Amino acid sequence: MGISIFAAAVDSQEHTQKVAESLGFPVAYGVTREQADLLDSWWDDRGFIQPSEFLILRGGEVRFSTYSNSPVGRMDAAEMLALMTMVIAGSKK
């Protein structure tokens, strides 16, 4: 589809590498609260960042985003592919 996928985590490099081994896309590590605040990400009372997910078009336009305060509501791979298909089809009209 000509898209790029990447992720970022607050975890250490070692922990992130273990998680990322099976994903097939790059995962950055060591995200700070200051960086997450730039995205308006939500932090719970325990100091953990909650999921913040974005579909960013070439040129930097944020087309869709989700914010969660639990595992519920995270982007599902099949749903993201359907969304990308819709966005790509709409851009060709």
Do the domain assignments include residue 1?
no
Asked whether residue 9 carries a pLDDT value surpassing 70, the answer given is yes
The total number of structural domains in the chain stands at 1
Do the domain assignments include residue 24?
yes
Do the domain assignments include residue 61?
yes
Do the domain assignments include residue 22?
yes
Do the domain assignments include residue 2?
no
pTM across the whole model: 0.71
Do the domain assignments include residue 76?
yes
Do the domain assignments include residue 52?
yes
Give residue-wise pLDDT tens across range 20-61. Answer: 999 888 999 999 989 988 888 888 788 778 888 888 888 888
Instruction: Determine the pLDDT at residue 77.
Output: 74
Which DSSP symbol is given to 11?
S
Range of the domain at 40: 7-91
Element (H, E) at 85: helix 77-91
Asked whether residue 15 carries a pLDDT value surpassing 90, the answer given is yes
